[in-house]
Amino acid sequence: MDPIADLSMFDLTLWTFVAIAIWYMVFYFRALLRYRQASNNHGCQQPPSITQRDPIFGFDLMLRLHRALKRNHRNKSIVQLFSSHGLTFCAPSSTSTKFYTIEPKNLQTIFSTDASSWGVEPMRRFAFEPFVGKGIMCVDGKDWEHSRTLIKPTFARAQITDQHLEDFERHVDRLIDLIPRDGSTVDLQPLFSRLALDASTEFLFGEALGALKKIGFSNESSEFLQAYNYGQYVLGKRLHLPKWNFLTVDKRFQRSCRVAHAFVDECIARTQRALRGSQGHDKTRERYVLARDLVSQTIDMKDARNQLLNVFLPAHEAVGVALTNTFFNLARNPRVFSKLRQEVLKAGAQGKPWTFERLKGIKYLQYIINESFRLNPSIGTNTRMALNDTILPTGGGLRGTSPMYVRKGDVTTTSFYALHRSKDVFGEDADIFKPERWEGLRPPPWSFLPFGGGPRVCPGQNLALTEISYALVRIVEAFERIENRDPVMEFVEVYKITTDSGNGAKVALFSERR
């Protein structure tokens, strides 16, 4: 090979690299200058910035959080950042700025008063759409309003109080039958996941999956469950992949999508057949089923499938994860379990069925649920992207009290895990499980957000709280005491879409019955 020609090729490659580097540097500093000018024009100041070795692309922060994710310390790592930098800080890069905030005034702005300026579609749709389609979890604007309108009747209060608990009772009975009564060790996590699956599939599709049945769990249901579990796991990974990623081909994920879609399509088809067969029947006493309502509205069947999967995704996760986390804490605090049991037995002495109002009336039950959501929120963080240039009311400047200018495309991350550990709100012992703290405690607005807030607040929060409360009450009625059987005392987080207990909830429950 001609060495002169070879040298020329080397020089060309080198100068191309230098030109690209210079272009990026010019782009970076021009963007930074425009940002500072716009910020000054609006009387805004930048919040404290974390120290970065790579201030242009921010790769070092990405790697730091990725390593924390692999070590199952993602939430703890973010809490440490807030402890070091205050309630609001940022991580600038060449094209955008990532803001981190747990300042209640900012949260109110992002989630409520200026919610239209913030969205999720630019970040979530790439990750979610292959599996659950276009629906409430991953769209903004008119598409979001369409989805919200379709599913709103699902969570109407009357459906929860009058009908749902009767269906849910059967599933809880099956759950209790599967728990050993002789003090044998049992991991409650998979049982609670199966409970939530049966309850949510019956509520949404009109027929329970049958995950809690000792016999009769069909191959079709088993295949769907395996596909859904894997698909959900991959969604958590896809949230961290760039949109242009085309090298990651996961054939198992693709097959999981097909299995999940086929399962829900068949549920819709059965609903259509049932509707045709029930024409002329009295429907006033029928329980509410989302699939039936969507089909009766004659919307596109693919749209119906998307809406169902988008509701199913958070519906079963919220209850299963919350119950696991609650019993994780109860096992390490048997005194709390005993006190709750006394309160439940006293409230249940009348022999009347458990209703939404009766469950709500057991104050200590509500304290325990609040404390578990506070200490181990199912959703550890929430991210929003600015859909246009806007302003956050506080967090800027050396004192953190000035407004902050946010450009279109900038991102804010809120850590509920850090927010709920505020010692100013929850006391110096905010890092420990203590339900009694809720006696007389009324957290200031936007300082306790177990289900989010504003227009995108979880529409199923009353349903989830009712199911969690009912399952808790029935279990403490059936078992007189609890023991921890996990040698690891601290909570080990596993991040999927939710933050799960990596060690489950390994306990022993002892029944009065012999």
Across the chain, which has 514 residues, the per-10-residue mean pLDDT values are 54 71 64 73 87 60 61 75 91 79 98 96 89 92 91 72 80 95 94 92 86 73 83 79 64 93 90 75 62 80 90 84 96 98 88 85 97 93 94 93 94 95 96 97 96 92 92 96 95 81 94 64
What are the strands, taking DSSP E only, across 109-225? 118-119, 186-187
Residue 358 token pair: 């009766």
CB 55 within 8 A of CB 25: no
Query: So what's the pLDDT on residue 49?
Result: 85
| Domain assignment present for 367 | yes
Whether pTM > 0.95 for this model: the answer is no
3-state SS class at 265? helix
Query: So what's the pLDDT on residue 490?
Result: 92
| Domain assignment present for 2 | no
Query: So what's the pLDDT on residue 12?
Result: 66
DSSP string across 371-416:
HHHHHS-SS-EEEEEESS-EEEEEEETTTT-EEEEE-TT-EEEEEH
| Domain assignment present for 434 | yes
CB 103 within 8 A of CB 446: no
Q: How many domains does the chain have?
A: 1
CB 185 within 8 A of CB 485: yes
CATH code of 243's domain:
1.10.630.10
Query: So what's the pLDDT on residue 514?
Result: 46
Query: So what's the pLDDT on residue 59?
Result: 60
| Domain assignment present for 20 | no
Distance CA 350, CA 27 (A): 72
| Domain assignment present for 3 | no
| Domain assignment present for 413 | yes
Query: So what's the pLDDT on residue 171?
Result: 95
| Domain assignment present for 16 | no
Query: So what's the pLDDT on residue 327?
Result: 98
Residue 458 is labelled as binding a ligand: yes
Residue 492 structural domain: 43-510
Query: So what's the pLDDT on residue 290?
Result: 85
| Domain assignment present for 9 | no
Distance CA 175, CA 225 (A): 17
> Which position has the token pair 């649920």?
369
| Beta-sheet pairing, 97-101 with 411-415 | parallel
